[in-house]
Chain A
């Protein structure tokens, strides 16, 4: 038995703040190796939001629903809440945080929020540059590897600093975005034969990886490692054959 009292619902004697749509149906269109949909999965799991996951067959077989829900970019992830679509992963994360405030992704203080947003944006933008090395060969690969190291250096020195997580004691939005390291960067390193984040080279990021990977929400929601390695191995091979037949 519950009744509506402004924004509050009194259910079985417990007062619950409910955003007026938080009980509507949630769907997520994603792609299992994509870091952009992975971070949304983590956010939904972290907040205990029930959702239906729709696996898209990328890139050649996008569903009609996806094209209907994201006509501008035709990309995943798309979150559909109560029939209303939201696209762009960082926009989705902010939306999720606003509708389901439990286990917040962003701090309360506006200055701290601006710092979190700065780093989420930085890592989101630099992500693709960080993993460019896996589709490069020879000298270009060397250059790309150096770029990746520089970016990681910046993230460690200015972003993570001495904190356990980017969000402080608990994971926040930036942790979910940097999480691409564990399911994208590490497999690619293995394929190419490099290792960026070692205890000697990036001690704080190295510790972060351990702390992050051990979080139950993360541990239980990463794609199968060997499946990821296979996927990227094949992609790299396809790319090599089409772009660099002599390598």
Chain B
């Protein structure tokens, strides 16, 4: 009986890719089993379900695996059509959401990654690029909030909200570990308010890992990266 709509998420607590899928399932009220993967010791299931990338997250729905977080999110939205809808109905609006989601994922996230993994001149360059791109985002999202009013609740959270949250939701942690101001209320007021609004959602608040745990992981990642690049 319970096999009819069996959903399993293979994830990792500190991964932004995993987090966005976890939140998506919770927001839609989809019951699921969560499997915490040890990335240094990946399970046979992950290797079987995602032979191409061997990565989490992987969503398994009635035995069928889906990999790549953005692909998973669209799958969830198309399969469970209840609110919140992650994408609007209008094709042009959908294209705009996908465009900006791609921007956040491919440009902002990648640059942020570089900021975390470098120091000195290389990091300075990456920080400059990151702040410039955040300005581009600030301009770009005006089309979603035409009167500057940001009204996000658990019924209208979308794909872009989920992706932005997973990348910059823990900006306090990032700023603390890196010693750099990233989300500046004055430079990017819309992005700042937007992040605050998403972070206030009850489901988000209870799903975000504790500050100290995230800080420890980020510090560890950074130290490892710096060590191996100077080795």
A positions within 8 Å CB-CB of B: 19, 21, 72, 81, 84, 86-88, 90-92, 94-95, 98-99, 110-111, 113-115, 117-118, 121-122, 154, 158
Task: Kindly state the separation between the CA atoms of A106 and B120 in the bound complex, as whole angstroms.
Answer: 46
Nearest-CB distance from B229 to chain A (Å)?
20
Across the interface, which residues of B come within 8 angstroms of A113, CB to CB?
74-75, 78
B36 within 8 A of A: no
Report how many A-B pairs have Cβ atoms within 8 Å. Answer: 62
* Stretch from B8-16, B63-71, B157-165, B183-191 contacting the other chain: B63-71
B positions within 8 Å CB-CB of A: 51-52, 61, 64, 66-68, 70-72, 74-75, 78-79, 91-92, 94-95, 98-99, 102-103, 136, 140
27 residue pairs from A and B, CB less than 8 Å apart: A19-B91, A72-B136, A72-B140, A90-B98, A91-B95, A91-B99, A91-B102, A92-B95, A94-B98, A95-B92, A98-B91, A99-B91, A110-B78, A111-B61, A111-B66, A111-B75, A113-B74, A113-B75, A113-B78, A114-B66, A114-B72, A115-B66, A117-B71, A117-B74, A118-B67, A118-B68, A154-B52
Residue of B nearest to A19 (CB): B91
Task: Kindly state the separation between the CA atoms of A113 and B68 in the bound complex, as whole angstroms.
Answer: 13
Nearest-CB distance from A180 to chain B (Å)?
19
Residue of B nearest to A98 (CB): B91
The reply to whether A110 and B52 contact each other, CB–CB distance below 8 Å, is no
Task: Kindly state the separation between the CA atoms of A121 and B67 in the bound complex, as whole angstroms.
Answer: 11
Across the interface, which residues of B come within 8 angstroms of A158, CB to CB?
51-52
Across the interface, which residues of B come within 8 angstroms of A122, CB to CB?
52
Task: Kindly state the separation between the CA atoms of A117 and B98 in the bound complex, as whole angstroms.
Answer: 13
Residue of B nearest to A122 (CB): B52
6 A-B pairs with least C-beta separation: A98-B91, A114-B75, A110-B78, A95-B95, A91-B98, A86-B95
The B interface, classified by DSSP as helix, strand, loop or mixed, is: helix
Task: Kindly state the separation between the CA atoms of A86 and B96 in the bound complex, as whole angstroms.
Answer: 7
The reply to whether B95 and A114 contact each other, CB–CB distance below 8 Å, is no
Residue of B nearest to A125 (CB): B106
Across the interface, which residues of B come within 8 angstroms of A21, CB to CB?
92
Task: Kindly state the separation between the CA atoms of A21 and B92 in the bound complex, as whole angstroms.
Answer: 10
Task: Kindly state the separation between the CA atoms of A92 and B75 in the bound complex, as whole angstroms.
Answer: 19
Residue of B nearest to A82 (CB): B92
